[in-house]
Structure 1
Amino acid sequence: MSAKTSAAIRYTTMRLAIFIGCLVAVGGLVQIGVLPKGLGDSNFVWVILLALVLSAPLSFILLRKQRDAMSEQIVGKVDQAKARLEASRSQEDGAVQ
């Protein structure tokens, strides 16, 4: 497994873990009555939306290092691909002339 895949999987797993933690916390708070249950039958949707709203800024703050590492690895791979493409183009241009 490449380092880029590893960093992406690690970041995604950690982000999912934060969301699940928020989902469990919000669900518990709704069940004990600290947070409203939503309107009518919207309890499940309410809990998911509230967990998403809470987990997004938490992920942004808590996973900064992982996101930066993943970004650096992706940029490196893109630069390598651009260099290979440019080398391929220059070889084709040399063969055509």
Structure 2
Amino acid sequence: MLRYTLMRLGIFAGCLVVVWGAVYSGIFPRGFGDSNFLWILLLAMVLSAPISFVVLRRERDRASVQIVQRVDRAKANLEANRSQEDVADDTARVQGQTS
């Protein structure tokens, strides 16, 4: 998961550098007044999203498999704890009835 996040940030940083260069060279228009930095960030995000979607498909699939495995493990642990509580509760009831 960390690898995917770092790769995604790398693509965004690359797009940010390219957009910054394109805006300051006049290829892309500048933002209004003091909004130039926000304009550059917005353009970089818009460009990096589809690039990340296509380029990082395999890495995203690996990350989703890891997440599913973690969720399944957590569900199994929760179910095991639940069944232990049920056994303890049933034992306490039986002991309470025999006393």
Q: TM-score with structure 1 length normalisation?
A: 0.89
Query: CA-to-partner distance for each residue in 1:45-66, whole Å, 9 max, x for gaps?
Result: 1101100111111111111111
Structure 1: distance between partners of 2:89 and 2:38: 61
Higher helix share: 2
- Stretches of structure 1 lacking an aligned partner (at least 5 in a row): 1-7
- Stretches of structure 2 lacking an aligned partner (at least 5 in a row): 91-99
Specify the structure having the higher radius of gyration (Cα): 2
Q: Which runs of 4+ in 1 moved over 4 A?
A: none
Deviation of residue 40 (structure 1)? 1.7
Residue identity (%): 62
Aligned residues: 90
Q: CA RMSD for the aligned pairs?
A: 0.8
Find 1:71's aligned residue among 64, 74, 84: 64
Which structure has more relative contact order (CA 8 Å, sep 6+)? It is 1
Letter in 2 for 1:22: C
Structure 1: distance between partners of 2:72 and 2:35: 47
Structure 1: distance between partners of 2:47 and 2:13: 11
